[in-house]
Structure 1
Amino acid sequence: MEAPDFELSSNNRTLQKHKATYTQIIAFGFLVIIVVGAGLLSLPISSKDNTWTSYFDSLFTATSATCVTGLVLFDTYTHWSVFGQLVILLMIQIGGLGFMSVITTVSIFMGRRISLHERKLLMQSAGNTKLSGMIQLVRRIFFGTLIFESAGAILLATRFCPEMGFLEGIYNAIFHSISAFCNAGFDLMGKFEPNSSLIHYQSDPVVNLTICGLIVIGGLGFMVWNNIIKAKLDFKHYSLHTKIVLSITAVLLISSTVLFFILEKNKNFAGLSTADKWLHSFFQAVTPRTAGFNTTDLSSLSESSSLLTTVLMLIGGSPGSTAGGIKTTTFVVLFLMAFASSRKNNNVVIFKRRLSDDTLKRASAISSIYLTAVLVSTFIICSIEPYTIRQILFEVSSAIGTVGLSMGLTPSLSVVSQSILIVLMFAGRVGGLSLMLVLAENREPVALMRPVEDILIG
């Protein structure tokens, strides 16, 4: 009687060992969307000249759209037909909200019951820490997205329609509103000049501030929205996560706006009015938060501004949002860890709350993975491309931060370098730590405690 029980238990452990984890399912889901999207984009119907687009070029574009990055090999307006543009827009929306949020939303409207397994997947995809209230959160994500993107489209239409005509203006307003809210950076402004992004509207406060507002709201994260809806404007009753996100977002926006103004007022922004200089500075402070739009030629930025932009791209937005990067909360935790360590304090405290050791370890792991990927990728691309380290570091940081800002290098890079950028974009959207867990989550830890010994640090 005991042998069959043992055999059954052994088989169960084997099945459990090879069962896909939530992280692996999410990563695979994004991969499927990218592969299918690349197939659609390669079709003749997707290009304006009605010819086949190479699958690799389509794969790069599909990865950039699904991972809400914005790096492109072709100008979106001049190369892709309306069908191709709509495929890109659909991938942006799915990639921005997370495919599980989209699937769950469709299931809710169809009246289908959401299983426990699907709720856990959704929790992982949305970056939530609690299983309860997930369906309500999805409803809020859907209606919040609809409200913000609609409001953005209406505001943009007031500028686009008079210049482009009613139908084309509405289409462009919807496209850019979704692209901005999802922090994607894809644009259709190639009608004025290929790869010009929003330079045509660089002094238009309505376009600039609308795009900035959508980027910031999309980059705050769904958990922050949910918390603000529940607690209204009572900051004291916000969760620790929401307090940190709102505080660091304000600090980064204000400080980087001032820095860009100081660095560029007599250089790249020379000749502009003071109001336009501040508008350009604010836009330049917002867009590296993984959005990818630009209102000025990035290759003309000073060395200091390029470095500041690179740092902002690596920090990115907030967890559980449409943004990428190491995330604002990770940046705060790293800073607080360094501060506490310098004071020989083992406790990391913020807003009268102590952060757990697990949080500190995850922050260190994520930052280490990102920085290692950036350094290795930059080294490899530098060894095979005839560009400066400043230019290549900018493109690499833009890819892994899912930003989309570019100095114009991406289309001229070799297939090897472009392949590296594809991997970085995918890793940036799924998450560096999550991608590592995809490969290691099912491995059983070794139950062995090694002897402890200290080494010199610093």
Structure 2
Amino acid sequence: MNSRYIALHPKVNHSRKKIQLSPPTILALGFAGLIVIGTFLLMLPMSANSNISLLEAAFTATSAVTVTGLVVVDTGTDFTMFGQLIIALLIQAGGLGLMTFAIVALIAIGGKIGFRQQIIATAAFNQTSWATVVQTAKAVIVFALIVESAGMLILFLRWLPEMAWQQALFHSFFYAISAFNNAGFALDANSLMPYVGDPAINIIITGLFITGGLGFGVWMDIWQQRRWKKLSIYSKALLTSVVLINVFAMLIIFILELDNPETLRSLTSSEQWWAAWFQATTTRTAGFNTIDISALEDSTTTLMLLLMFIGGGSLSTASGIKVMTFIVLVMATYAYLRQRDEVVLLGRTIPRNTVRKALALTLISVALIWVAIFLLTVLQHEPFLDVVFEAVSAFGTVGLSRGLTGDLSIFGQVLIMVLMFVGRLGPLTMAYFLASPKPKHLGYPEVKVPIG
């Protein structure tokens, strides 16, 4: 055959074309797969003490994987110890992230990670360097196990005098995982209300979910630098903001609830402060409560809506729009009011792309919550504040409720499941998943439009 003919007619490749999926798509499918597995495990006869429907099992699995804590059945009574163990493992997997386990497992067995898997992992950890992802994955596992083990040991010693050692051991195991991963699952229908004034429980549980909610990047920075002056701008800004927000929220809740006979008024002085502190910090997506959330004043509930929407730190077990997103928006607004071209944070300029990302994330989040509220008002016919609180709690994967979760209809449960799933993956990830932007090389002339 003529060589020229061969050159003009290259060999046809008959192999099937591989399906190309974007990193957010693969992550979404991974979380969905984990939920499906968890659902079937919770449907096993050995998992439940009573008949659990498929929807109830799916709701519980979704809530566990997304580390939310909203429940339609009681975790402590409707599930056996095996079922509770499954829930704890789902929380751990969802809190630390599927990619963490996948990366560490591949490293442990000496497996090779391809270029596409590296892209997926960097997207999961919100990093730009593969070396950073590997380092982060190892640190996440070690850090989580150390903190959870320490919390478990202290909780075991606290509960040992009032429980059999086997029960105290399992309780400490379950609550350590649930608290560190900001899940809010409890083995008591009243959450932690019996321990409203218990200093040990308040300190340990809040310490665990604040530690997990700050984010692994901050703790790595603290471990490596060990001095405030050497910390990154991000770590300084996040730590300062978290302290200020928590203290501010505690004081406001204390003032607003002090005369409420159904919350703080019936407690002793020390119990009042512990309750105010716990409720102020648990709204950062932790989901536990030591007082009746449905009995709170409307003003306190409104404050909690903002705290739940903000959430915790990036690369953490918490959700919400994240504290740094909120800070960037505040600083961008401040820069605009001062007529400055640059958005400055602690003497450093925030890139415009970061500002746009924060704005887009917040707008998508508000839109999703609004749609959920609208649909819930159509489906449920419940008090409006209860509906709003449920939607924000589900999106922020907080797990607090004013009592609406147990009364959700079938469609309401499905809607909350979707909201928890989207809230955990992140609005920007879902936006990328639905419509990946394509680069454009064509510029357009500017036009001025009136704003405000």
- TM-score w.r.t. the length of structure 1 is 0.93
Q: CA deviation at 1:111?
A: 3.9
List per-residue Cα deviations over 1:222-260 (Å, max 9, x = no partner).
11121111111x122222221221111111111111111
- For residue 105 of structure 1, report the CA deviation from its aligned partner: 2.3
Counterpart residue number, 1:242: 235
Correspondences of 1:218-367 after superposition (within 5 Å): 218-232=212-226, 234-267=227-260, 268-367=263-362
Cα distance between partner residues in 2 of 1:79 and 1:161: 24
The one-letter code matched in structure 1 to 2:220 is: N
In structure 2, what is the Cα distance between the partners aligned to 1:6 and 1:173?
Answer: 64
- 1:113-149 CA deviation, whole Å, 9 max, x = no partner? 4444434333322233332243232222111111100
Counterpart residue number, 1:427? 422
Which residue identity is paired with 1:216?
Answer: I
What residue in structure 2 maps to residue 62 of structure 1?
A: 61
Cα distance in structure 2, aligned partners of 1:33 and 1:253: 33
Distance 1:384 1:136, change over 3 A: closer
Q: Which amino acid aligns with 2:308?
A: M
Q: Structure 1 residues 127, 446: closer, same or farther in 2, change over 3 A?
A: closer
| Cα displacement (A) at 1:68 | 0.3
* Alpha-carbon offset, residue 349 of structure 1: 0.2
Residues 162-200 of structure 1 show CA distances to partners (whole Å, capped at 9, x for unaligned) of 1121010010001000000000000112xxxxx210001
Structure 1 residues 2 and 337: CA distance shift in structure 2, 3 A: farther
CA distance in 1, matches of 2:48, 2:11: 59
Which moved further from structure 2: 128-137 or 215-224? 128-137
Q: C-alpha distance in 2, partners of 1:330/1:111?
A: 37
- Give the letter aligned to residue 59 of structure 1: A
Residue-by-residue CA offset, 1:5-52 (whole Å, 9 max, x unaligned): 7998xx99x969x51122221111111101111111122221113x4x
Whole-angstrom CA distance in 2 between matches of 1:430 and 1:206: 33
> 2:35 matched to 1:34?
yes
Mapped to 2, the partners of 1:431 and 1:245 lie a distance apart of: 19
Alpha-carbon contact 1:128-1:223 (below 8 Å) kept: no
1:2 to 1:346, Cα distance in 2 relative to 1, 3 A: farther
Shift of 1:202: 1.1
**2:93 alignment partner in structure 1:** 94
Say whether 1:168 aligns with 2:167: yes
Higher mean C-alpha displacement, 443-452 vs 418-427: 443-452
**2:46 match: secondary structure:** helix
Deviates more, 1:336-345 or 1:116-125: 116-125
**Contact between 2:390 and 2:402, CA under 8 Å: does it hold in 1?**
yes
Rounded to whole Å, the distance in 1 between the matches of 2:444 and 2:337 is 28
CA distance in 1: counterparts of 2:381 and 2:217, whole angstroms: 44
Q: Distance in 1 between matches of 2:291 and 2:381?
A: 24
Q: 1:39 to 1:338 in 2, by over 3 A?
A: same
1:3 Cα offset (Å): 6.0
Task: Check the 8 A contact 2:95/2:181 in 1, yes or no.
Answer: yes
Alignment check: 8 A CA contact 1:294 1:405 kept: yes
Distance 2:81 2:126 in 1: 33
Whether contact under 8 Å (1:126, 1:222) holds in the other structure is no
* SS of residue matched to 2:130: coil
Task: Report what 2:48 is aligned to.
Answer: 47
Show the counterpart of 2:203. Answer: 209
Verify the 8 A CA contact 2:197 2:270 in the aligned structure 1. no
Report the AA paired with residue 236 of structure 1.
Answer: K
Measure the CA separation in 1 of the matches of 2:8 and 2:242.
60
Q: Note the C-alpha offset of 1:438.
A: 0.8
Give CA-to-partner distance per residue, 1:376-433, whole Å, 9 cap, x none: 1111111222211111000000000000001111121111111111111001110011
- In the aligned structure 1, how far is the partner of 2:12 from the partner of 2:228? 56
Q: Give the 5 Å matches for 1:106-255.
A: 106-189=105-188, 195-232=189-226, 234-255=227-248
Would the aligned equivalents of 1:395 and 1:405 in 2 still touch at CA under 8 Å?
yes
In the aligned structure 1, how far is the partner of 2:7 from the partner of 2:295? Answer: 75
Unaligned runs of 5+ in 1: 190-194
Residue of 426, 432, 455 corresponding to 2:449: 455
CA contact (8 A) 1:128 1:320 kept: no
Q: Answer whether contact 2:92 2:177 (CA < 8 A) is retained.
A: yes
Cα distance, 1:358–1:163 mapped onto 2, change above 3 Å:
same
How far, CA to CA, are the matches of 1:67 and 1:175 in structure 2?
16
The amino acid that maps onto 1:374 is: I
SS in structure 2 of the partner of residue 416 of structure 1: helix
Deviates more, 1:288-297 or 1:128-137: 128-137
